[in-house]
Amino acid sequence: MSKLIPTLISAALIASPSSFANNLNEQLVKDHDFFSGKHGHYQQTSGKVVATYIGNWVDPKEVLKINANNISHLIYAFVEVCGDKQRDVLDDICLTLEDNQLAVNSNSTDTTFIPYFEQLKKQYPHLKILLSIGGGGRSATFEQVTENKHNRETFVQSTLDYLNKYPVFDGVDIDWEYPLTKEQGIGFAHLMQDLKVGLDALGEKNERKYINSAAVNTIDYLTQFIDYSQVAPSTDLIFMMTYDFYGPWTENNIGHHTNLKTHPHNTQQGYGHSVDAAVNKFISLGVAPDKLVVGIAKYARGWQGVTEHKQGGPFGTATKELYPASIDEAGIDDQRQ
| DSSP-derived secondary structure letter, 40 | P
**Pick the catalytic residue: 62, 147, 177, 251?**
177
End-to-end Cα, the chain, rounded Å: 35
Question: Among candidates 325, 315, 241, 335, which has minimal Cα distance to 8?
Answer: 315
183 is catalytic: no
Question: Among candidates 68, 30, 52, 150, which has minimal Cα distance to 101?
Answer: 150
The distance between the two most distant Cα atoms of the chain, rounded to a whole number of Å, is 66
Q: How far apart are CA 131 and CA 122, in angstroms?
A: 18
The secondary structure of 176-206 as a DSSP string is -S---SHHHHHHHHHHHHHHHHHHHHHHHHH
Phi, psi (rounded to 5 degrees) for 279: -60, -50
Residues 276, 278, 279, 284, CA torsion sign = positive
Orientation of helix 149-165 relative to helix 182-206, angle to 10°: 40
Residues in the chain: 337
CB-based contact 15:335 (threshold 8 Å): yes
CB-based contact 157:165 (threshold 8 Å): no
List active site positions: 177
